Amino acid sequence: MESLPGQYASAARERITILKEPLDACELKWLIARCHWFCGTRMHSTIAGISSGVPTAALAYSLKTSGVFKTCEVGESVIDLRRVHEDAALESLMHLWRHRTSTASTLAGVLPGVRALAARQMDETADCAKQDWSIEGAVQC
């Protein structure tokens, strides 16, 4: 891994940092939030990207990732590795990189509504938890 920066031109090399210490989830989200573009393979890392407003490409291997991205109106940023050949995946990544500014604008417009919806859903869940858990009350929730 130490030789990775040496494989790139000097201008790119200056932009490469290799983390030597493991980061916890909060530290990783902080780091991802500072990216101009992020590409991840794990759903939670890509959620960290889109929830921070970072244009994010997801190299997915499950249906769940697509649903999360569609909620944020960036479903086209998911590349389903179960269905796409390697060359097509690389072409899609380059397209997403070139259109990252547009994706950032979409996220900036959509995220306030997504966050409000999530807050409402959490409030409804908390209200249900406070109710008397009789059979009748449980059915209503």
Q: How many domains does the chain have?
A: 1
pLDDT tens digits for range 23-67: 999 999 999 999 999 999 999 999 999 999 999 999 999 888 999
Residue 135 lies in a domain: no
pLDDT tens digits for range 58-110: 999 988 899 999 999 999 999 999 999 999 999 999 999 999 999 999 999 99
Residue 41 lies in a domain: yes
Residue 129 lies in a domain: no
Residue 88 lies in a domain: yes
Residue 6 lies in a domain: no
Residue 124 lies in a domain: no
Q: Which residue segment(s) compose the domain that 97 sits in?
A: 24-109
For the entire predicted model, the pTM comes to 0.80
Nearest to 31 by CA among 5, 1, 52: 52
pLDDT given for residue 42 in this prediction: 92
